[in-house]
Amino acid sequence: MSSGIKTYTVTIFNERYTLATDQEERYIAEAVNMIDSSMHAISKQISVSDPKKIAVLVALQLAEELITIRTEQGKANDTLSFILNQIEQLLHTI
């Protein structure tokens, strides 16, 4: 994060929004692109045209992805802890 609040004007699903954040522009651009492309993809897949409903579906999709990533990260952390414990035990036998 950079210091200071910056203002960005972005377009998501053909609507303009003004964001105030301390995040760098590249992170904002990536997030906006992710949301915008997801909203357009979902709107093509289903017969719902209400932007709020599409936004909720995108939020659910992104939440599912986040939960999956957190679960995988937790499993990886557990595996790493186990391996480190095994290494420590082996070092103590030397």
> In this predicted model, what pLDDT tens digit does every residue of 44-87 receive, in sequence order?
999 888 999 999 999 999 999 999 999 999 999 999 999 999 99
Q: What is the pLDDT at residue 2?
A: 56
Answer for the pair 27, 8: CB distance below 8 angstroms, yes or no. no
Q: What is the pLDDT at residue 1?
A: 53
Q: What is the pTM of this model?
A: 0.76
Q: For residue 54, with 0-12 CB atoms within 10 Å meaning exposed, 13-18 middle and 19 or more buried, which class applies?
A: buried
Span 1-33, pLDDT tens digits: 556 999 999 999 999 999 999 999 999 999 999
